[in-house]
């Protein structure tokens, strides 16, 4: 092989890598969850509890599993007891990976 052929192969592989980047520009769908605000004591952060009902593999009984998510609250407008929708986002701090997109129901 000559040097020109090797350079031509490198250019082709670069083109395919660029084409792959163009195809990946459309972001994957982000995770969306609904939960209950259990704490709003931090500045611009709310703790949202996500309750999931899962069936036990052996005993077939439904079990509630709770997971707490730290969510970004830009305007500090959610209160404890609000039902909110959160969406996955870039890491904003050590634990905060979600943001509040909308308040579904205000606490009574």
Residue 72 lies in a domain: yes
Q: Backbone phi, then psi, for 19, in 5-degree steps?
A: -60, -40
Residue 91 lies in a domain: yes
CATH number at residue 93: 2.40.50.140
Residue/partner pairs of 91-98 with CB below 8 Å, 24 or more apart: 93/45, 95/70, 96/45, 96/70, 96/71, 96/72, 97/69, 97/70, 98/33, 98/48, 98/69, 98/70, 98/71, 98/72
**Residue by residue, what is the 3-state secondary structure of 3-22?**
HHHHHHHHHHHHHHHHHHHH
Domain count along the chain: 1
Residue 3 lies in a domain: no
State the DSSP code for 31. Answer: P
Whether the predicted pLDDT of 5 surpasses 60:
no
Q: What is the mean pLDDT of residues 90-100?
A: 97
Of the two residues 27 and 39, the one the predictor is more confident about is 39
Residues 6 or more apart whose Cβ sits within 8 Å of residue 68: 38, 47, 48, 49, 50
**What is the rounded average pLDDT for all residues in the chain?**
86
Whether the predicted pLDDT of 1 surpasses 90:
no
Residue 45 lies in a domain: yes
pLDDT range class, residue 81, cuts 50, 70, 90 = very high
Residue 19 lies in a domain: no
Residue 98 lies in a domain: yes
pLDDT at 6: 53
The C-alpha torsion from 89 through 77 and 67 to 63, rounded to 10°, is -130
Structural domain of residue 46, as residue ranges? 32-105
Residue 9 lies in a domain: no
pLDDT at 7: 54
């Amino acid at each position: 092989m000559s040097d020109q052929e090797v350079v031509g192969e490198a250019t082709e592989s670069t083109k395919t890598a660029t084409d792959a980047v163009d195809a990946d520009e459309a972001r994957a769908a982000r995770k969306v969850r609904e939960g209950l605000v259990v704490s709003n004591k931090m500045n611009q952060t709310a703790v949202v509890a996500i309750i999931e009902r899962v069936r036990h593999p052996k005993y077939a009984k439904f079990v509630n599993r709770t997971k707490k998510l730290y969510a970004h609250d830009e305007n500090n407008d959610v209160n404890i007891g609000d039902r909110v929708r959160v969406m996955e986002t870039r890491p904003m701090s050590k634990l905060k990976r979600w943001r509040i997109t909308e308040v579904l129901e205000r606490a009574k």
